[in-house]
C-alpha cells in the first residue's frame, strides 16, 4: 500500500500548464480582436464620402486660415508676390464635385479667359471661373486686385485653386449681367430708375479702384457684360483679369493692347492701328540698310508711346455703357453689312447737344421703355456720356465727377437748359477747370449752364453714401 501511495504522489501534474496555455490563447485572441477592430475602423474611415471630408477640411481651413495661406503660397510659385489674406485655397476635387465635374449643366457663362460654372461650396453659392494655364497673367492680376480691394460694388472673391487649370471662386450674383438685361430675350425691361441706379453703382465701384485703393488700379475692360446685377437690381463690377496698376501720381503707363472693341478709347485704337502697320513697315525695309536699326527703334518708340493706359480709358468705356443704358444697343452697332457697322459712340455723335434736340435723342432711346422715362434725365445721361467719350483723355471727367453728375439725374432742377455736374461747389472742388475748358469745345459756350445753388459745401463722401 505504501508503495502504491508513493507511486501516485510522485506522478507529474499538468493542470497548471493547461491553465496557463488557455489564458495565453485567450490573450492572443483578445489582442487579435482589438487589432481587427482598430483596422476595421480605419478601413471604414477611408470610406467616408469626399463631401464629408471636404466639410471637415473646410472647418479646419476656416479655423487655421493664416497657415493655409502660407502653404498655398509655397505650393503655388506662380503666385509669388500675391498676398492672399482673406481667401482660401480650394481643393480641385472639391470644385469638381461642386460643379459635377464641370458639367455643361453647371456652366453659366463663357469669357475670353475661360468658362464659368455654378457651384455650392461650404454652404455658399459660388461662381467658379476655370481658366487655362496660359492665362496666368490675367489670373494673377485678378487675384491680386480682389484679395486686397473690397467694396459693395465690386464682385467678391471667395478663393482660388491652382491644379491642372487656374480657378477663381467668386460670390454668385444670381441675376445675370447688364448686357443680358438690356438685350436678352428672357429678361424684363429695365426701368429708367433701375438703369440710373446701375450706372451709379458701377461708377462707385470704378471710382473706388481709381481713387481709394493703394495702389490704385485701372480695370481696362469695362463693358455691360462685366456689370453683374443682383436680385435687388444693384450692380457690381466684375472681371478684373485685365486690371493694371496705376501710377501713384496719375501718370499713364505703357501696356499691351487689351480691351473690347466698341469700348476702346481712341488712344488704344491708335495703338491697334500701329500694331497692324508695324510688321508691314519692318518687312518693307532693307535689313542691310544703315538706317534700318535707327528707323526701327524710332517706330518702336512711337508705338510704345501710343500704348498708354490711364484711368481715363475706364471713363471712356463707362461712357459707352451709358449709351447702352439709354438705347439698349450693343457697343458695336451692326447695320446689316460690313460698311454699315459703326460704334455706338458714332451713332450718338449725330445728336447735337442743344435745348431743342430732345426729339433726336428720343429716336435712340430703348423702345421697350415706351414713354416711361423723364426726357430731362435721359438728356443729362446723354451729355455725361458725351463728356466721358471725349477723344482727348485729359478732357474726360474723373469717375468722382461722374458720380456727382449721375446723382443729379434724379434731382429736380428748374434749369431747362443743358445741365452738367450740378452744384458749383462740387465742380470748384472737383475739376472745375477741366469742365470749364470743355464749354466751347464740347458743349458750346451759349448752351453750357452750371446751376449755382446756395447751400452748405457738398462733399463727395456725402454724395455716394448709401
By annotation, the residues acting in catalysis are 221
Bridge partners for 187 per DSSP? none
Name residues whose C-beta falls within 8 Å of residue 247's C-beta, 6 or more positions apart in sequence. Answer: 253
Q: Check: CB of residue 226 under 8 Å from CB of residue 177.
A: yes
99: left (phi over 0), alpha (psi -120 to 50) or beta: alpha
Task: Take residue 133 and report the three cell numbers written for it.
Answer: 494655364
Half-sphere exposure for 162 (CA within 13 Å, toward CB):
17
Nearest alpha carbon to residue 157 among 265, 246, 85: 85
The residues near 174 (Cβ < 8 Å, ≥ 6 apart) are 125, 230, 231
Contact call for residues 356 and 348 (beta carbons, < 8 A): no
Q: How far apart are the first and last CA of the chain?
A: 118
**Three-state secondary-structure class, residue 253:** strand
Q: Could you tell me the three cell numbers for 3? A: 508503495
Q: Which of 249, 253, 227 has the alpha carbon at shortest distance from 313?
A: 253
Cis omega (within 30 of 0) for bond into 215: yes
What does residue 234 show for φ and ψ, rounded to 5 degrees? -100, 150
Report, in angstroms and rounded to the nearest whole number, the Rg of the chain calculated over CA atoms. Answer: 34
What gap in Å lies between CA 142 and CA 24, rounded to an integer?
68
How many angstroms separate the CA atoms of 353 and 360, rounded? 10
Q: Residue 323: enclosing H or E segment and its boundaries?
A: helix 312-327
> Of 409, 325, 418, 326, which Cα lies nearest the Cα of 364?
326
Q: Which of 189, 191, 223, 193 is nearest to 206 (CA)?
A: 223
Rounded to whole angstroms, the Cα distance separating 161 from 168 reads 7
Amino acid at each position: 500500500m505504501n508503495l502504491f501511495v508513493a507511486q501516485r504522489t510522485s506522478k507529474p501534474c499538468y493542470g497548471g500548464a493547461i491553465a496557463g496555455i488557455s489564458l495565453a490563447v485567450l490573450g492572443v485572441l483578445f489582442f487579435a480582436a482589438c487589432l481587427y477592430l482598430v483596422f476595421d475602423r480605419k478601413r471604414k474611415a477611408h470610406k467616408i464620402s469626399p463631401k464629408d471630408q471636404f466639410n471637415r477640411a473646410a472647418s479646419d481651413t476656416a479655423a487655421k486660415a493664416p497657415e493655409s495661406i502660407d502653404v498655398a503660397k509655397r505650393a503655388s510659385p506662380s503666385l509669388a508676390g500675391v498676398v492672399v489674406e482673406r481667401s482660401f485655397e480650394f481643393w480641385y476635387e472639391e470644385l469638381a464635385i461642386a460643379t459635377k465635374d464641370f458639367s455643361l449643366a453647371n456652366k453659366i457663362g463663357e469669357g475670353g479667359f475661360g468658362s464659368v460654372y455654378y457651384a455650392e461650396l461650404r454652404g455658399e453659392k459660388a461662381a467658379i471661373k476655370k481658366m487655362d494655364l496660359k492665362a496666368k497673367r490675367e489670373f494673377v492680376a485678378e487675384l491680386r486686385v480682389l484679395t486686397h480691394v473690397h467694396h459693395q460694388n465690386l464682385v467678391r472673391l471667395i478663393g482660388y485653386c491652382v491644379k491642372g487649370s487656374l480657378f477663381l471662386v467668386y460670390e454668385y450674383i444670381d441675376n445675370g449681367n447688364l448686357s443680358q438685361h438690356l438685350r436678352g430675350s428672357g429678361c424684363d425691361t429695365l426701368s429708367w430708375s433701375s438703369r440710373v441706379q446701375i450706372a451709379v453703382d458701377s461708377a462707385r465701384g470704378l471710382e473706388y479702384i481709381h481713387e481709394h485703393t493703394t495702389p490704385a488700379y485701372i480695370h481696362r475692360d469695362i463693358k455691360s457684360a462685366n456689370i453683374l446685377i443682383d436680385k435687388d437690381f444693384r450692380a457690381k463690377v466684375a472681371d478684373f483679369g485685365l486690371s493694371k496698376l496705376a501710377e501713384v501720381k496719375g501718370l499713364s503707363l505703357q501696356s499691351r493692347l487689351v480691351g473690347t472693341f466698341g469700348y476702346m478709347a481712341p488712344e488704344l485704337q491708335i495703338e491697334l492701328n500701329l500694331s497692324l502697320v508695324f510688321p508691314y513697315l519692318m518687312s518693307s525695309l532693307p535689313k542691310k540698310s544703315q538706317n534700318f536699326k535707327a528707323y526701327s527703334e524710332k517706330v518702336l518708340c512711337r508705338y510704345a508711346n501710343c500704348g498708354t493706359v490711364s484711368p481715363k480709358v475706364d471713363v471712356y468705356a463707362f461712357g459707352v455703357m451709358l449709351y447702352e443704358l439709354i438705347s439698349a444697343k450693343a457697343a458695336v452697332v451692326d447695320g446689316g453689312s460690313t460698311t454699315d457697322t459703326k460704334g455706338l459712340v458714332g451713332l450718338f455723335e449725330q445728336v447735337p447737344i442743344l435745348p431743342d434736340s430732345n426729339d433726336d435723342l428720343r429716336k435712340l432711346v430703348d423702345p421697350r421703355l415706351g414713354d416711361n422715362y423723364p426726357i430731362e434725365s435721359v438728356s443729362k445721361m446723354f451729355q455725361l456720356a458725351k463728356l466721358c467719350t471725349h477723344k482727348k483723355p485729359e478732357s474726360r471727367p474723373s469717375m468722382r465727377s461722374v458720380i456727382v453728375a449721375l446723382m443729379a439725374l434724379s434731382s429736380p432742377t428748374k434749369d431747362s437748359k443743358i445741365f452738367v455736374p450740378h452744384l458749383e461747389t462740387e465742380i470748384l472742388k472737383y475739376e472745375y477747370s477741366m469742365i470749364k475748358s470743355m464749354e466751347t469745345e464740347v458743349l458750346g459756350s451759349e448752351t453750357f449752364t452750371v446751376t449755382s445753388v446756395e447751400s452748405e459745401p457738398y462733399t463727395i463722401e456725402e454724395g455716394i453714401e448709401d
